[in-house]
């Protein structure tokens, strides 16, 4: 992968806390019946998670890794670009309060989906723009909203959207030190990368 040998496989999941520091919800499923699970890659996962935990109807969030071939990767392994994973945020939501397409609008507007393997000064495949879908309906919505957003992005002088849209094979939790990293209890003044285009999603 990427012309280099991937790092050794881990056999056990990374342990995380039982409760969400901000939402006081479970960090690990099973989730309430009828709730959806959305997974987005939009650069550094700290700021992405903070963005989504503020949305009414979001039940729980977690940061982790998806889209690669190495099970249970560490943060250090993922940062090498050799695992194939992207840094992602998992968003568990009540679709009766916040539909999946509303989450997609937030996703499109709060990062730059034209940058390929980077967001701002964060460079590497781990920072790529990605939607990892968990249902056929999510796959269709991701493609539909991309196609609706792309002309607005082009008209504003940006390039073509490079966002990966792919089925979620596995979500691997990141280390507990990264969960809710920007919360008041951890690093409220920590690093946030929102390399957004400033282009509004067409309403």
Q: Which domains does the chain have, with CATH numbers?
A: 36-178 (3.30.1060.10)
124, 121, 145: which is closest to 133 by C-alpha? 145
Q: pLDDT, tens digit, for every residue of 125-156?
A: 999 999 999 999 999 999 999 999 999 999 99
The alpha carbon dihedral of 124, 145, 143, 53 has a sign of positive
Q: What is the reported pLDDT for 86?
A: 98
Query: 40: pLDDT confidence band, cut at 50, 70 and 90?
Result: very high
- Going by pLDDT thresholds of 50, 70 and 90, the confidence category of residue 112 is very high
Say if residue 1's pLDDT is above 60.
Answer: no
> Of 32, 66, 30, 36, whose CA–CA distance to 48 is shortest?
66
pLDDT, residue 159, reads: 93
> Which residue is associated with the tokens 């050799």?
82
pLDDT greater than 70 at residue 9: no
Q: Output the pLDDT for position 10.
A: 72
**128-157 b/e with 16+ CB inside 10 Å = b?**
bbbbbbbeeebbebbeebbeebbeebeeee
User: Over 90: is that where the pLDDT of 194 sits?
Assistant: no
**Nearest alpha-carbon partner for 68 in 131, 6, 161:** 6
The dihedrals phi and psi of 9, each to the nearest 5 degrees, come to: -80, 140
> How confident is the model over 48-86, as pLDDT tens digits?
999 999 999 999 999 999 999 999 999 999 999 999 999
The first and second tokens of residue 162, run together, are: 């490079």
Contacts of 189 by beta carbon, 8 Å cutoff, 6+ apart: none
pLDDT band at 4 (very low <50, low <70, confident <90, very high): low
Length of the chain: 203
Q: Is the pLDDT of residue 7 over 50?
A: yes
Confidence of residue 5 (pLDDT cuts 50, 70, 90): low
Contacts of 99 (CB under 8 A, 6+ apart): none
pLDDT at 195: 85
Q: Is the peptide bond before 30 cis (omega within 30 degrees of 0)?
A: yes
- pLDDT for 6 equals 60
Q: Do β-strands 164-167 and 129-133 pair in parallel, antiparallel, or remain unpaired?
A: parallel
pTM of the model: 0.94
Distance CA 171, CA 49 (A): 15
Q: Which residues are catalytic?
A: 44
Q: State the Cα–Cα distance between residues 56 and 53, nearest whole angstrom.
A: 8
Q: Which of the four pLDDT bands, split at 50, 70 and 90, describes residue 8?
A: low
């Amino acid at each position: 992968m990427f012309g280099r040998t991937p790092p050794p496989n881990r056999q056990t999941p990374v342990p995380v806390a039982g409760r969400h520091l901000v939402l006081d919800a479970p960090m690990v499923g099973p989730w309430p019946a009828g709730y959806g699970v959305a997974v987005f890659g939009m650069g550094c996962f700290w700021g992405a998670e903070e963005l989504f935990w503020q949305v009414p109807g979001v039940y729980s969030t977690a940061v982790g890794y998806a889209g690669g071939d190495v099970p249970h990767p560490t943060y250090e392994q993922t940062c090498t670009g050799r695992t194939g994973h992207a840094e992602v945020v998992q968003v568990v939501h009540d679709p009766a309060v916040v539909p999946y397409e509303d989450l997609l609008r937030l996703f499109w507007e709060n990062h730059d989906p034209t940058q390929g393997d980077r967001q701002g000064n964060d460079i590497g495949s781990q920072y790529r723009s990605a939607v990892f879908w968990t249902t056929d309906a999510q796959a269709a919505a991701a493609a539909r909203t991309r196609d609706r957003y792309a002309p607005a992005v082009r008209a504003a002088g940006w390039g073509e959207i490079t966002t990966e849209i792919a089925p979620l094979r596995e979500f691997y939790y990141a280390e507990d030190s990264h969960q809710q990293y920007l919360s008041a209890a951890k690093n409220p003044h920590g690093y946030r990368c929102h390399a957004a285009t400033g282009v509004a999603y067409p309403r």
